[in-house]
Homo-oligomer: A and B are copies of this chain.
Amino acid sequence: MKAFRSGKPFSTGAVVEKPAKFLSKLEISGFKIKVKDVQIILTRRLAPDDIVLGLGEQLGGINRRGRKYITYCTDTPVHIPEQLSLYGAHPFIIIKGRINQGLFIDYAGEIIFDVGFTDKDFLEITITSTNLELYYWKEKLWQTIVTSYLELTGGVYVPPRWAFGYQQCRWSYPDAPKVTEIAGKFRQLGIPCDAIYLDIDYMDNYKVFTVDEQKFPEFKEFVGKMKKQGFHLIPIIDPGVKIEDGYQVYEEGKANHHFCTDINNEDFQAAVWPGLTHLPDFTRPETRKWWGELYDNFIEMGIEGFWNDMNEPAIFYTDYEKEKIFAQLQSAADAGKIKDINLIHLQWEIKNFHNNREDYRRIYHHPSPEQTVWHDDIHNLYGAKMALAFAEHVQEKYPERRFLIFSRSSYSGSQRYSGIWYGDNKSWWEHLEGNIKMLVNANLVGYFYSGADIGGFGDNCHSELMLRWLQLSVFSPLMRNHAAIGTRQQELWEFDQQTLNQSRNIIRLRYALLPWLYSQYLEYAGINKPLIRPLMWDFEDAQSADTEDQFIYGDGIMVAPIYHSNSRGRNVYLPESRWLAWNVRSWEERDMQILNPGNHYLECPLEKQLVFLRENTLIALQEPEEFVGQRNPDTLFITGLVTEQANLKILADQGSEPAYSGISVLEIDVENKNDYFIIKTKTVKKQQLPWKHVVCEIYDLNGNTNIIHKDI
């Protein structure tokens, strides 16, 4: 890896330990580099077989060729192909080919990646600043570049264990009785669930860090009551602080200069849910400390998880833009020419209020008393730094605890202290398909703890879409059903009895797999290797590189979701080895089939889900709980197709202590001796393992099941 520095870049914090030496002359083999006004343009020829990967949370495929992408965090409710930016910015790109190269452009303003769009044979990167740090890799294996990027930017966030449970959200469950009713439904219907979300309406007039006491009286008691039933309440946190005299957060922020300013050093005003607000300046260490401490009230009431929204930051409008319109209208009125107003034009002008680039250009940060930084240059840091405020605070104040925190906006590096969700998708089959690719793309930049709103946030969900989306989401670390106000109710009992029953089966499968899913997360996060990977990470053949509607989770589960309506099957590509195909009706009912490598058309009616386990790989299951840690079953089921030898390491912990601080290990070795199997177990901190017994269901090539019980 080489590091370059140009100009006087703002230190984004993406890289934890900066290299000792930065080169000052930007030279990258194969790249033409042009400095033009205040832009740097990097151009490289792409060979026909080069594959371009990376860029994190962006629309489009796993192979990034054929599109443009812009890093400029954007609040957008419509994820359609012409959207060139989403909520996060991850300016890390890999060219996989005869020569494998990687670039991380550590600049938090706008960068345009034209990945063979304008000319299919060229990658052109336009950085809209000459102040930046740039890291460059050239490696024998492209995978090394990803791991090295994750090391450089500080590794991967690990959430609490309960955050791997199923979670239920809606904008909004309006009050405590409704939340109680939802919680009751889950338990009554036997659908496992670990968390219920509080969207914006729990607040008093959208004032951040308040609770509407009419809707949620005795909030602390309510949080405790819910937790006793196994539910974490997760409040939404928005950055905009309502301008309202007497409102404590506002008064403190104002008094202590915690807010971003405009060019006149007045606190900048932007309207969001609460009306006009100020935006905390998270580049200031004092502001982050202040903001972090604001969570304490919730934490003391028993809250253990938060989701940060609207932190691109989203702006509905500003008075700066509004005044321009009012002036136009007033002058038309004064001239008696109201009827000459071009209404269509007016409509466009008002529409452009939303997340107006001119507004972002009006904002200034003051990371230190001597420093003033133009927002447009560090726009992409806003959400990341907001999450950092929380992370720094809990690290300091609650060093013995692990919290759930995930964010809508993010920047390279924030994956070490926060997860993300993929924002305002819709109840569209296209978005279920996009979810497959997004999981891979998010994991390639270290956002293992991430996921889409299951069933879709906007638009109305259909029962079949919900079931297929749930099936995929068994393998999405963040597994959350969420829907927007005004859309069809999409809690799992809102469709029909069959959908309800199948939902329960799918979610129970998730909980059955949870020990393994969680263990794999810990293991892969620990070595900075993507948990969810494109096939080409593990397999070198051409079709693996081409397959974008399947992915690998952990040590060797191939996930091949159905993502078309009315589908009763799909084609699945299984590379290299043999695979044990599960035809899952429920965690208990799994028809097994051994498949050879190659292409298979497999039937998969709605009530079933296809899961593939690689030859000589083992996975573990346990009896599903209704919430994580409810009963801690003492038996672990191990299964796999073992033709030679297979090894499984299950990492377990309490799930609430700091990651990796209290891990116990159960290791299982299975050897196929042709006539019989040898099973060996090894443990580390055996006393802390929840399991007392293992039951191994091992398949051989003839499809015979061999069941071996063993005490640990």
- Closest-by-CB residue of B relative to A430 is B430
B343, A322: Cβ atoms closer than 8 Å: yes
Instruction: Please give, as numbers and ranges, the residues of chain B lying within 8 Å of A427 by CB-CB distance.
Output: 81
- Closest-by-CB residue of B relative to A488 is B118
Report A183 CB to chain B, min CB distance, Å: 26
Q: How far is the CA of A695 from the CA of B653 in the complex (A)?
A: 76
Q: How far is the CA of A351 from the CA of B464 in the complex (A)?
A: 33
Instruction: Please give, as numbers and ranges, the residues of chain B lying within 8 Å of A329 by CB-CB distance.
Output: 329, 333, 338, 341
- Closest-by-CB residue of B relative to A350 is B347
Check A325 for interface membership: any CB of B closer than 8 A.
Answer: yes
Report A658 CB to chain B, min CB distance, Å: 41
Instruction: Please give, as numbers and ranges, the residues of chain B lying within 8 Å of A465 by CB-CB distance.
Output: 66
Q: How far is the CA of A346 from the CA of B326 in the complex (A)?
A: 12
Interface residues in A347-367 (C-beta closer than 8 Å to B): 347, 350-351, 353
Check A317 for interface membership: any CB of B closer than 8 A.
Answer: yes
Check A548 for interface membership: any CB of B closer than 8 A.
Answer: yes
Interface residues in A44-60 (C-beta closer than 8 Å to B): 51, 60
Tell which of B464, B546, B571 touches A568, judged by Cβ atoms closer than 8 Å. Answer: B546
Report A489 CB to chain B, min CB distance, Å: 12
Stretch at the interface among A195-203, A247-255, A559-567, A579-587: A559-567
Instruction: Please give, as numbers and ranges, the residues of chain B lying within 8 Å of A569 by CB-CB distance.
Output: 543, 546
Instruction: Please give, as numbers and ranges, the residues of chain B lying within 8 Å of A429 by CB-CB distance.
Output: 81
- Closest-by-CB residue of B relative to A64 is B566
Check A601 for interface membership: any CB of B closer than 8 A.
Answer: yes
The interface bits of chain A over 65-90 (1 if a CB of B lies within 8 angstroms of the residue's CB, else 0) are 11100000000001011100000000
Instruction: Please give, as numbers and ranges, the residues of chain B lying within 8 Å of A347 by CB-CB distance.
Output: 346-347, 350-351
Q: How far is the CA of A543 from the CA of B605 in the complex (A)?
A: 12
The interface bits of chain A over 593-616 (1 if a CB of B lies within 8 angstroms of the residue's CB, else 0) are 000001111000000000000000
A80, B566: Cβ atoms closer than 8 Å: no
Instruction: Please give, as numbers and ranges, the residues of chain B lying within 8 Å of A476 by CB-CB distance.
Output: none
Q: How far is the CA of A65 from the CA of B139 in the complex (A)?
A: 50
Report A314 CB to chain B, min CB distance, Å: 14
Q: How far is the CA of A80 from the CA of B80 in the complex (A)?
A: 8
Give residues in A with beta carbon < 8 Å to B: 51, 60-61, 63, 65-67, 78, 80-82, 117, 119-121, 316-317, 322, 325-326, 329-330, 333, 338-339, 341, 343-344, 346-347, 350-351, 353, 426-430, 458-460, 462-465, 495-496, 498-499, 542-543, 546, 548, 564-569, 571, 573, 598-601
Q: List 23 A-B contacts (CB under 8 A).
A: A60-B565, A61-B566, A63-B565, A66-B465, A66-B566, A67-B462, A81-B426, A81-B428, A81-B459, A82-B458, A117-B460, A317-B343, A326-B338, A329-B338, A330-B333, A344-B353, A346-B347, A347-B347, A350-B350, A543-B601, A546-B566, A546-B567, A546-B569
